[in-house]
Structure formats: structure tokens, C-alpha cells
């Protein structure tokens, strides 16, 4: 019985090795499986790239529209204090509570060089890069302090 099973297995093995169709089918199947895997991976990569693009677009939109508090923290707080009640470098009056229109006039004056005394050079450097929108946001924020 063992000889019969062994002989049958040997014949089966020899026929499998000599048959041209079986290896091609298994090769085709393996290649198709790999292609399917690559296609699925590409779909995942495409979906991930789309998500990254969406996040980048949202982040860019958020960073392009600053708010007054962020502008103040980045541009003003180091000299005027976090609540704008500090005399900047002991050479200016605290600006907390100034009306928005006054702040807009002063910042635009610093920006174009028509306003300021001792602090003129420092404030011109701070205000020159500000857009009209940023000056308005800053002024509104400071006036609320």
C-alpha cells in the first residue's frame, strides 16, 4: 500500500512538473495577485495623498487669516506685555484700552514713518510688514484689552 501511494505521489509530482499549463496558471495567478496588491496599495496611497492635500489646504487657509490675539502675541507682547499694560522698553505709554481708530492711525504712522519719537525705528520695523487687515485685527484686539 505504501508503495502504491508513493508511486501515485511520484506520478502526480512528475505530471505536475512536466505540464506546461499548471506552472503558467500558478504564475499568472501569482502575478495577478501581486498586481491586485499593488493596485490596492496605490488606491490607499491616492486616498492618503488626497487627505494630505485637504489638510494642507485647510492649514494654509488658517495660517493666511491671522487673528488679533495671535498677531499681538507674536509682534507686540514681548515689549507691551501680554495684556498691553506695560510701558514698552520704559519709553512708551501702555496701549491697553486705546480705541481701535487711534491704534490704526498710530500703527500706520509708524509704518509710513510719519509717527513716533524714541520708539520710531523699532515700531517701524514691527509695523512695516503688517497688512491693512492685520493692523485692523491688531487694533481691534488691543482696544479690547
pLDDT digits (tens, 9 = 90+) for 81-106: 999 999 888 888 899 989 999 999 99
Contact 138, 100 (CB under 8 A): no
- Residue 106: closest CA among 77, 74, 81, 130: 130
| Statement: residue 26 has pLDDT above 70 | no
Note whether 101 and 142 are within 8 A (CB).
no
CATH number for the domain spanning 88: value is 1.10.760.10
* Model confidence, pTM: 0.55
In a domain, 129, yes or no: yes
Residue 89 lies in a domain: yes
Does residue 127 sit within a domain?
yes
C-alpha separations of 106 from 46, 117, 120, 127 in Å: 51, 12, 11, 10
Q: How many domains does the chain have?
A: 1
| C-alpha span between 33 and 54 (Å, rounded) | 32
The pLDDT assigned to 107 comes to 95
Residue 76 to residues 83, 90, 131, Cα–Cα distance (Å): 10, 14, 15
Amino acid at each position: 500500500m505504501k508503495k502504491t501511494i508513493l508511486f501515485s505521489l511520484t506520478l502526480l509530482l512528475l505530471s505536475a512538473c512536466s505540464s506546461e499549463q499548471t506552472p503558467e496558471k500558478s504564475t499568472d495567478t501569482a502575478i495577478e495577485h501581486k498586481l491586485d496588491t499593488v493596485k490596492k496599495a496605490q488606491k490607499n496611497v491616492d486616498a492618503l495623498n488626497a487627505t494630505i492635500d485637504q489638510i494642507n489646504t485647510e492649514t494654509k487657509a488658517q495660517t493666511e487669516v491671522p487673528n488679533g490675539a495671535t498677531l499681538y502675541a507674536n509682534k507686540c507682547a514681548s515689549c507691551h506685555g501680554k495684556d498691553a499694560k506695560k510701558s514698552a522698553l520704559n519709553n512708551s505709554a501702555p496701549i491697553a484700552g486705546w480705541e481701535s481708530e487711534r491704534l490704526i492711525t498710530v500703527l500706520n504712522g509708524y509704518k509710513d514713518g510719519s509717527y513716533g519719537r524714541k520708539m520710531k525705528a523699532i515700531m517701524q520695523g514691527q509695523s512695516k510688514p503688517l497688512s491693512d487687515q492685520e493692523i485692523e485685527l491688531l487694533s481691534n484686539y488691543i482696544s479690547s484689552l
